[in-house]
Each structure stands twice: as structure tokens, then as C-alpha cells.
Structure 1
């Protein structure tokens, strides 16, 4: 069973000091996951929004600081926006793309009532673009941000959790930063773990490189529910069982369709279609299989080339 509210609260004393080690909490999250009732609070620790060493009072101070810093960023953005509109044509293009992306989101409950304010998402995405030169804006951010909005309600919380999530996962879902690295590592991992499959994929063109949506959306579209997406993302946040676990996850998904690809001698386009049809997966099952893949890789650590040694380095906490 996942960590529920009662168990989560037992990890802290009356002042809010954590009683368990971060290693213990991370291991429990990897094995069992978080109950939805504690996820919004726990993610503030996992992302670094809160330090694990803080008390209730200290976290209240941090909360106030986060809010004020967000308001300052918003004020700054408002002041420079007229300049950006006149001097940078790209700004107007990105703003229009963000608006178009957000408007396409379906955010109504079972009764057809609007669940959230789309203009809020637009505002946060535009601020993220202005303040984050490296990451810029990429298609799919609106879908990712939606999950943060469903996780927490306050505008500053949504913004900072998204920022810290990107940082904690080493920008692994950013096209011009982490995604290219992930694809290179995935290609090398297939060559090491499954040479026959690797040779087959090589003969079919740029198959592995075309799997970039898995990483750029951080596997958001392969699961049955948002809970499954959060379940996998919190594993990425704790950095267990290894760094760059998203590459192991992608390799594990490819192994699910490996035999069919080889038996039917599929073309590159058919392989991609098959991979794109990997949907309605269960996060716990995928995580378990990916952990088994990592254990197998660990047995042959001495044979792993230097560019894949990152799998055996623990990420910074």
C-alpha cells in the first residue's frame, strides 16, 4: 500500500522535524509510492521547495518567501513585456503558441464544470518562458503544467514546483538539453543490453531518435491515469534506483514490443506506430520492470562504457 497521511505524519515530530532519514523515505516511495492525500505536501520536499531539515515554522517562512519571490517575478515580467512585444518577435509567437496549447486542454469534471482557470496556466507558462532562457517553451509543457495545477492550487506553488521539478530531474524533458542526451544513452544502452535488437533498429533508420516524445512529455501519455504519471515522476524526483532512470524506463518499454518487432520484421514507421500505441500502462508494473532491468545492468557494470557510467552515480540531493 502507498504511504498514506497517517504514515507520512509519523515521519515527523511535533515541531515538524523529520524523524526518518531521507534515504529511508526515498526507498519507501520507490517501493510503494505516495497516497494522493499526501502527494501535494510530499512533493514540496521531493522537489526541494522545502528542505528536509526544516520545522513547521521554518517552512511557513519559506512559503512566504516563495510567494513574495513569485510576485516579484510577475511584476518584473509585466514591466518588461511591452519591450519584449516590440523588440522580440519570438516573444509574440511563443505567447500565441502557449495560448493555443492551453485552450486545447480539456479541463472539465464529469459534470462538465471547469476545473481550473486556463488564463492562470497561460500566465505561468509565459513567465516560465521569460525567466528560463535555457528551457524556453516547448510543446507539451502545457500538459505537464496541468498536472502540477491539479496537484496544488496556489499560483506560486504551481510555478515553483514546476521549476524545481525541471531542475531536480536535470532538465531531462527539455528538448535542447536533456532529451538529446537521453536518446544517446538509450541508443547505447540497447547496444549493450540487446545487440541483436540494436542492429535491427539501426537497419530501420532513425527509430530511437524518433522516440523523443517519451522523454519530452516524460511518459505522460503512456499511462492509464494522472496518478500513474505522478507515481513515475516521484520516482524520478527521488533519484532512485539510479540517475537517468528515465532511460532505463524507455528501454524497458521497448522490450515490451521487442519480440513483435523482430518477428514481423517491422519497418521504422511501423515500429514507431507500435511504440506510440503503448498506452494505458500501469506505473507500478513499469517501475518494477525497469528496476529489474537496472539490477541486470548492475551485474555487468564493469562492461558498461564510460558514457553510461552515470547510471551508477547517485544524483545530488
Structure 2
């Protein structure tokens, strides 16, 4: 796995019950205990000779939350986390699924080739989106430290266009090109890139999609601030549309707040586990706001300057942010009877 920084870019069923019992300890306490990520040897120990998983999905997810994944297993593990593979499949069954995914992608490509002339002549939006995609992708920096090109931009353009044509809900929004790059660096086969991106959006309930998940996240964030910190909430209300201006955090799923892609993958795989709660991205955003809370209150800075201050939260460390966010979540859970209706989803199960 090539590591690219943003600066370069611009057990048995019975034993599993015992494993899960260890989850009674708080998430934040577990995260404060420095542990090595799940490596290839440990990952393989989770499966029997036929490829069936020996551990429970809850156990594996909790280990990913606490420790993360080594780059050597991330691409395979993400196929389970996104739903590309079912957790209940064997090796042979996964080979069949792999073939099915490839053939389905090829069918989509053939369909697109047939309707492309009609899209070009009858749908002005298609031409505009195609130009947007081309412009966005061309701005990506896709070379390693030695100056070697590591990604085919034409491939990224093709996948993004296909996503736009086939995914009515997601369509295309600026920032998708940056997200897709991370999937291309995670896996190489074109059908894998496409499907992992599709399943990622579905698994995270389109949380990074404008007018769907992003709007919902911002509403929940505003409500969470009011519930956890009324003084801070009242102060922000007097500064204009500050919370609404934080939409880039959600649109790129915090991609720009980290120095390396490894940190981005680390946070995203936590989102995919559904732990410690549904809509954990809102807890993460609130945790980041807490980092600048005192400065905002003490200096009484303007709304635009608050947004700029938030946008300057960069080079964060994923493990530290996840740990702090888990602590925030535990604080919310201390008062379940007082949590407003708008935040009840924190108690629900992820889809």
C-alpha cells in the first residue's frame, strides 16, 4: 500500500460470546490503551479453513473501533464492513460474489456506452456534470514521492460518471473525486472501486450527500450542542449560520482534517462498524467544535472567523479524535431519559 499524505496530494460461536463480554468496558477507556492494529496474521485467525468467520461481527467491529486495521488487511476487511461480502460467506462463496460484482459492473458499463449518445444530446445536466468531473479529477495530485503517477485519472472520471448515471440519490457533488481517490488507493480493480464506493455511501446512510445526510447531520449537530452545552449553543446562535457553514466536514467525511490518508481510512472504518453508535459522525463533529470552544467564547470572534477557525483544524490524529469522540458519546449516554427526540438515533442500531 502506497502511503500518500494530504500534503503530497495538495473464535467459535461459543468463544465469541466470551469475546463480546469484554465490550462492557467503556469505548474511550479501551481506546486510551495503546494497541497494535489488526494485522494479517490476526485477521486470518478470525476464519476457519473454509473461510467462514469464527468470531462474531460485533467482536470484529469492536476490535476495529479500538485498534484499527493494518494496511495489509484493510482492503479485504472493508469488503466485509461495507457489505460487499456477507460476514457469513465461505471462501468459495466470496469467489462467486466477486465474479458477480465484476459481471454486474461490466453490464453497467455496457449500458452506459449504449445510452451515452442520448445523454449527450438530450440531457444538458449530463454534459455539465461531465465537465465538472473532468475538471475536479484533473486537479488531483496523484504522484508518489518520486514523482511517479499512481492513479489513472481517466479511470476515476469513468467511475464518477457511472456513479452519477446509476445512483439517483447520490448524483455527483464536488468532493466525490477526492473520496473516490481513497478507494482507488485501497483497491485496484475497477469494479471493486466502484462497488466499494457505492456500498460505503449506502452503509453510512448517505451521510456525506448534500440535501440528504449532510442536512440531517447539521440538524443533529445543532441539537447536540444545545443539549450538551447550552451556553455555547446560545453564543453560536448569535453569530449567524455557523453550524450550517460546517457542511464541508460532512461532505468529505472529515477527509481534510487529517494529515495522512491512513488517518482518514482509520476514521471511515469506524463509521463502517456502526460503533459506538449510529450517526457517530455527528459526535465527531461536536468533539472537534469542543477543541475551539474556549477560544470562541473568550475572544468573542465573529461568525466568519469561527468558521475559519474550524476550517483550520487540520493535521489531527485519528486515534485521538476517535477516543475523544467516544468519551463524548459516553457523556450523552449518561442521560438517556433527557436526550431530545432529535438525538434518539444515537441509541438506534446502524443499518
TM-score range, shorter chain: over 0.9
- 1:216 — aligned with what? 251
| DSSP 3-state at the match of 2:63 | helix
Aligned to 1:20, the other structure's residue is in SS state: coil
> What residue is the counterpart of 1:135 in the other structure?
170
Shift of 1:120: 0.1
Partner in structure 2 of residue 106 of structure 1: 141
User: CA-to-partner distance for each residue in 1:133-169, whole Å, 9 max, x for gaps?
Assistant: 1111000000000000000000000000000000000
Other-structure match for 2:211: 176
TM-score, structure 1 normalization: 0.99
| Residue in structure 2 matched with residue 286 of structure 1 by the alignment | 321
- Give me the TM-score of the superposition, normalised by structure 2: 0.90
Matching of residues 30-69 of structure 1 within 5 Å: 30-69=65-104
| 1:251 Cα deviation from its structure 2 partner | 0.1
Q: Specify the alignment match of 1:116 in structure 2.
A: 151
Count the aligned residue pairs. Answer: 316
Rounded to whole Å, the distance in 2 between the matches of 1:136 and 1:154 is 22
What are the superposed Cα offsets for residues 6-63 of structure 1, whole Å, 9 maximum, x if unpaired? 0000000011000000010000000000000000000000000000000110000000
C-alpha separation in 2, matches of 1:226 and 1:315: 25
Partner residue, 2:260? 225
Q: Which whole-Å CA distance do the structure 2 matches of 1:77 and 1:224 have between them?
A: 37
- 5+ long unaligned stretches in structure 1: none
1:307 shift after superposition: 1.4
Residue 159 of structure 1: aligned partner: 194
- Post-superposition Cα deviations, 1:215-272, rounded to whole Å, max 9, x if no partner, equal 0000000001000000000000010000000000000000000000000001001101
Residue number in structure 1 paired with 2:29: none
Is 1:84 aligned to residue 119 of structure 2?
yes
Q: Which runs of 4+ in 1 moved over 2 A?
A: none
Q: Which whole-Å CA distance do the structure 1 matches of 2:336 and 2:293 have between them?
A: 23
Secondary structure class of the residue paired with 1:257: helix
* Root-mean-square deviation (Å): 0.4
Q: 1:39-98: CA deviations, max 9, x gaps?
A: 000000000000000011000000000000000000001100111111110000000000
- Looking at structure 2, the residues matched to 93 and 224 of structure 1 have their Cα atoms a distance apart, in angstroms, of 32
User: How far apart are the structure 2 equivalents of 1:309 and 1:251?
Assistant: 16
Q: Which has the higher contact order (CA 8 A, sep 6+)?
A: 2
